[in-house]
Amino acid sequence: MYSREEAAQIRKEFWMAFDAYSRKFIGAKQKWITYNTGLKDIVLKFDLDRNRARVMLLVEHRNEDKRFDIFVRIKGFEMLYEDNLGEGWIWDEQLMTNSGKEVCAIYKQLDDVNIYNKNQWTDIFDFFGIEMMKIESAFLEFKPLIKDYINTNF
């Protein structure tokens, strides 16, 4: 078990190492889209803890009906990008985040990995890089359609 400070230091080292590693996927001067999607209440996210790693697209609108409407609209465009995503993505209408926030999510999960096990970092880096490239590509395909839908209906 690690002290709070040791755990924080390991997490910091992980994300710094991942940032350096991810340059092979996105280039030296690029950044992952993550929170800069250009659409309010839609984010792309890396999630990692002691049990699993996830690459996620989250619909975070605070109104449950609107959040679900946006999620259903994204699901409706699945044929446009399903070849890019590949298999294994989970569509979850009611996911509770670690912070207790209810969201709609599309995510892919890698089980049995632990942020505190440095021997697993390369596997996690590969998973994060490959799967985030897929979800970013899919997102960029349907973004104009979702943007129009949000601007028209909300």
Confidence of residue 79 (pLDDT cuts 50, 70, 90): confident
Sketch the domain layout of the chain as residue ranges: 4-153
CA distances for 119 relative to 25, 51, 57, angstroms: 21, 14, 27
pLDDT tens by residue, 44-66? 999 999 999 999 999 999 999 99
Residue 25 has pLDDT above 80, yes or no: no
Alpha carbon 143 to its chain's center:
15
What is the share, in percent, of the chain residues with pLDDT greater than 90? Answer: 80
Cβ atoms 143, 38 nearer than 8 A: yes
Residue 28 has pLDDT above 80, yes or no: no
